[in-house]
Amino acid sequence: MTRTGPSDFTGLAGFPFPLAADAYRYTANLRPAGAGGETVTRVGPDYAELIAERARILRADPGRLIRDPALRAAEWDTLRYLMRRLSGEYPAHFRYAEAGGQARWENRLLGTAAGFTPGDPASLPCGPLEFIGRQVVEDLVLLDEREGHLWADAGLVTFASGWSFPFVAGSSFREIHGPVPQANADGVFARAEAFLLRLQPGQAYRRLNWAFQPFRVLDHSMDAAASWMPEADAFLATATDADIAAHVHLRVEVQHLIRLETSAAVLFLIDTRFLSLADLATVPAWSARVVAVLRGLPADIAAYKGLTELRPRIIDCLTRQAGL
Amino acid sequence: MSARRPASPGAPEARRADLALVVAGVTQLTEDVRQLTLAARDGGPLPCYPPGSHLGLRWRPDRVNSYSLTGDGHDPAGYTLSVLRTRDSRGGSAWAHALRPGDPVDAVAPRSAFPVAARARRHLLVAGGIGITPLLSHARWHVRWGADFVLYYGFQPGRAAHLAELRALCGGQRGGRLRAFAGRDALWADLGPALARQPLGTQLYVCGPLPMIDAVTAEARRLHWAESRIRSEAFGACADGPRAPFLATLATDGRRVAVSAGETLLEALERDGVPVPSLCRSGVCGECRTPVTAGRVDHRDLVLSAAERASGDWIMPCVSRAAGDEVELSL
Amino acid sequence: MTDAIRSTPQGTPDSGAWARLRWTSVPRWPAPALPPAASYLACCFGGEGERRARALLSGAEPDVPVRVEAFAGRWSAPGDPDPAGDAQAGGQGATDSRLRALFDACLTGVRVILAGPESVVMRAAAVAKQCGATSEELVLIATEAARAPGAAEPRASGRDGAGHVAGRAARRVFCAACRQSFDTFAALADIVTCPGCDGRLIVDHRFSRPHAAYFGWPAGPGPHR
């Protein structure tokens, strides 16, 4: 459980560093997908490991997959969207073709192939969301628009951080983001939701979320709290400076928000990435930025982000290690 | 492992702001209604769309007229629209009726403004005249996904576009999902009582001439249908009202733009070099939505909901004006 | 989505950090108003719930049909005594089955009044939504929130008049480890024990309407920091 492996197989150059300025505000920080040349899906050297981890979690806890009969069309929309994305962004690994109402999908990384009839549940071994969800590293949440708001009705989430998808499934966007300090007073989430509601089918946007956690644990959900929380609590209470330097990780979520093309549902993709404090310390510009942001973080936002105990320790560690 | 931009056609990147189309077919459906089929000029695939979407045809460099797509949006080989020939002042429908196969057409990618409510347990579709077009798209969707729906279609005798197609799609006149009526009175005789006995969870969709939409939605409200259960799409330009001159102040730099009685707020802003995105210029597409920071608004568009109007936070400058002497915009 | 390791605020409900948070997911209870309707269905849980619902319905237009259904003040779970035989085989108990039968018979234009203790009303509202009702069609009355100011706890509080049920009250708490909710009597930020796994849980301010329960945040073995 106490994993201290390398931050990211793709190396620091490709890492999605989330802090663009020294003063941090809780904003929606949305920008069009692909604006910086990034892909919407990510398939890296860790693909097989993450797919296997997802399968392990689902085997132990199938309730991380939540379906809704009202969102059948959105599930098929999601499957087709991701198959086209994957085959377009990684053509060496995936192939997708449609002709005459039939589709063919090849996943060369997993060594699988499937022919199916889009829209016909009997032609797939499981539901469309699960079928494609088991072949991507991103968490998937489907949001339905009704009563002037967005509702997170279905999804497959195995790598949540500090929340439980089974708990929030079926809640509205506002209810889920409700308890965020300052943000509601500023109307940030109301504006974010209004923005999402105006998205036209086919449009995709990207944003980044970040947090720090004591160990490199992917499944940091409240559903799995028994497996990581006791160690995390013990760590926070007893960690030495060496422990902090060795074990704390920056956790970044690269999120994509897509208005699907035929169902008009909003698809939320979450890709989780780690950067160890040790590796972070080797990039002076990033270290300095993190220190500046943490120093200036208002107390209630720090508390909301679970940084009350970690913040001074991280600042201390980075200022010493990076010689700031 | 390297990734590159998607090359597969039909991938979301293929969707551009403007589509290069060509007229692939023209069919006269009724005396006044002509069906156009448009394909991609390069022969490639077209973007998919949700039911109820509309396609904006750029019939002049600065004019876009939108028409509902009648297909169901899954991998369309072509975009089908049905255009009613009207005596509208700007001539867009006349231009559409003059199109011939092989003519190039520039279009704005499909926009969804009249979607299906996924969670509704039943869908009650009410179409008047050419308002059948988006609801034909909805009906195809419901047939595809096996949803519970019923379609009321009222038309002028001899002017029922798509009637045969609908009969085949909806499984026959009696006991099927289509209830077609020649004439408004016949439609009301059946629809009126039906509005009063739909099960909880039914969603109402109305499309047609403005007076018809007003009448049906007013009746639904009189019967206390919840506001979120009622969806409508209006065709044609908004009714214009009296125009008085007013002042528009730009919040960012305090600049003041005088809007005369002879021009719209949008035209005045453009004249003064203030860029505001716009598309339909007739209050139906929502593209020119602009935040209001002060002053009351005389709303004349067909986009903002009742709640949005009441908030006073938005204006559609292509048709709406200040209710008083002045309005301040977040521009 | 929250991005916190631990985002339970410090201190008691009225202390600084807590008070600054805007609880958009905690149920709020403005004074109920009767909306116009084509018909009314009132499901009343307990005598106080029925009294409050009838008081509200006294403002109804005379020609509008009104149906009042009285339920026990507690939710009837599968296996509970079911003298009226409402429970469906394989269903969620008598209360759930009876509500579904009532909602399935409703027409558009109905407004459904649900009155009773907060925890029961929110469960009934979740069932109503599963049966196709929207928020606009529901009028929810929590009897705890109806007491006069100065009365014994629990009471509603809040500057904007739409208070939440403060203090100790009957609440449903969701245990993420068990993925089940249980009934308890507690205030927000209290620590309760899950009957399923004996886990100590803090009654969090996050509320799920589909589960009709407050999130039970794991408290850990020692005193909560």
Interface contact flag, A306 C7, Cβ < 8 Å: yes
The residue that leads in pLDDT, A36 or C216, is C216
Residue with tokens 């509200």: C56
ipTM above 0.85, yes or no: yes
Q: What is the pLDDT of residues C19-50, one digit of tens each?
A: 334 455 889 888 899 999 999 999 999 999 99
CB C22 within 8 A of CB A184: yes
Which of C2, C23, C136 is opposite residue A162, by nearest beta carbon?
C2
Share the mean pLDDT of chain A: 90
pLDDT > 90: percent of chain A: 72
User: In A, residues 50-79, which contact B (CB 8 Å cutoff)?
Assistant: 70-74
CA distance C45 to C119: 11
Whether the predicted pLDDT of B238 surpasses 90: no
Which of B5, B8, B118 is opposite residue A71, by nearest beta carbon?
B118
**B22 reaches A (C-beta below 8 A):** no
> Which pLDDT does position A182 carry in this prediction?
52
Strand order in the sheet with B314-315: B256-259, B246-250, B326-329, B290-294, B314-315
CA distance A177 to A181: 10
Give the residue from chain B lying closest to A153, CA to CA.
B119
Q: What is the pLDDT of residues A178-216, one digit of tens each?
A: 766 555 445 677 777 877 887 889 999 999 999 999 999
> Which pLDDT does position C22 carry in this prediction?
44
Closest CA to A73 of B50, B205, B228: B50
Q: What is the pLDDT of residues B70-112, one digit of tens each?
A: 998 988 889 999 999 887 656 788 899 999 999 999 998 898 9
Give the residue from chain C lying closest to B201, CA to CA.
C132
CB A112 within 8 A of CB A232: no
Interface test with C, best of A66, A159, A168, A235 (most C CBs within 10 A): A168
Which of A174, A223, A306 is opposite residue C24, by nearest beta carbon?
A174
CA distance C60 to C44: 17
Work out the minimum CA distance from B217 to partner chain A, whole angstroms: 17
Phi-psi region of C199 (alpha: psi -120 to 50; beta: other; left: phi over 0): beta
Work out the minimum CA distance from A157 to partner chain B, whole angstroms: 22
Is A241 in a helix, a strand, or coil? helix
> Which pLDDT does position B305 carry in this prediction?
72
Whether the predicted pLDDT of B230 surpasses 90: yes
Interface contact flag, C38 B224, Cβ < 8 Å: yes
Residue with tokens 């949540």: A160
pLDDT band at residue B11, thresholds of 50, 70 and 90? very low
Whether the predicted pLDDT of A106 surpasses 90: yes
Share the mean pLDDT of chain C: 83
C-alpha separations of A66 from A152, B243, C32 in Å: 10, 54, 34
Q: What is the pLDDT of residues B292-304, one digit of tens each?
A: 888 999 998 877 7
CB A96 within 8 A of CB A84: yes
Whether the predicted pLDDT of C9 surpasses 60: no
Q: How many CB atoms lie within 10 A of CB B117?
A: 20
Work out the minimum CA distance from A122 to partner chain C, whole angstroms: 26
Q: What is the pLDDT of residues B160-203, one digit of tens each?
A: 999 999 999 998 555 579 999 999 999 999 999 999 999 999 99
Is B189 in a helix, a strand, or coil? helix
Whether the predicted pLDDT of C11 surpasses 80: no
**A146 reaches B (C-beta below 8 A):** yes
Q: Identify whether A59 is a catalytic site residue.
A: no
Q: Which residues of B touch A84 (CB under 8 A)?
A: 6, 8, 10-12
Strands (E), A84-138: 94-99, 102-107, 112-116
> Which pLDDT does position A11 carry in this prediction?
61
Residue with tokens 């196969």: B101
Work out the minimum CA distance from A88 to partner chain C, whole angstroms: 29
The tokens for C197 are: 């796994």
Q: What is the mean predicted confidence (pLDDT) over B308-331? A: 88
Residues 6+ apart with CB under 8 A from B222: none
**For the whole model, what pTM was predicted?**
0.87
Tell me the three-class secondary structure of chain C, residue by residue.
CCCCCCCCCCCCCCCHHHHHCCCCCCCCECCCCCCCCCEEEEEEECHHHHHHHHHHHCCCCCCCCEEEEEECCCCCCCCCCCCCCCCCCCCCCHHHHHHHHHHHCCECCEEEEEEECHHHHHHHHHHHHHCCCCHHHEEEEEHHHHCCCCCCCCEEECCCCCEEEECCEEEEEEECCCCEEEEEEECCCCEEECCCCCCEEEEEEEEECCCCEEEEEECCCCCCC
Q: What is the pLDDT of residues B250-275, one digit of tens each?
A: 987 889 999 998 889 999 999 999 98
Q: What is the mean predicted confidence (pLDDT) over B128-150? A: 96
> Chains touching chain A at 3 or more Cβ pairs under 8 angstroms?
B, C
Residue count (chain A): 324
Strand order in the sheet with B202-208: B178-182, B149-155, B122-128, B202-208, B230-234
Which of B225, B227, B228 is opposite residue C109, by nearest beta carbon?
B225
pLDDT band at residue C2, thresholds of 50, 70 and 90? very low
Whether the predicted pLDDT of A286 surpasses 70: yes
Q: Which residues of C touch A221 (CB under 8 A)?
A: 176
Q: What is the pLDDT of residues C130-170, one digit of tens each?
A: 999 999 999 999 999 865 443 333 444 544 446 788 889 99
Q: What is the mean predicted confidence (pLDDT) over A272-298? A: 92
Residues 6+ apart with CB under 8 A from B315: B265, B289, B290, B292, B297, B299, B327, B329
pLDDT band at residue A127, thresholds of 50, 70 and 90? very high
CB A202 within 8 A of CB B45: no
Is B137 in a helix, a strand, or coil? helix
Is B97 in a helix, a strand, or coil? helix
Alpha helical stretches, state H, chain A: 47-60, 72-89, 128-133, 165-168, 173-176, 183-186, 188-198, 225-238, 241-247, 277-281, 284-296, 299-304, 310-321
Closest CA to C5 of A203, B223, A248, A62: A248
CB B276 within 8 A of CB B288: yes
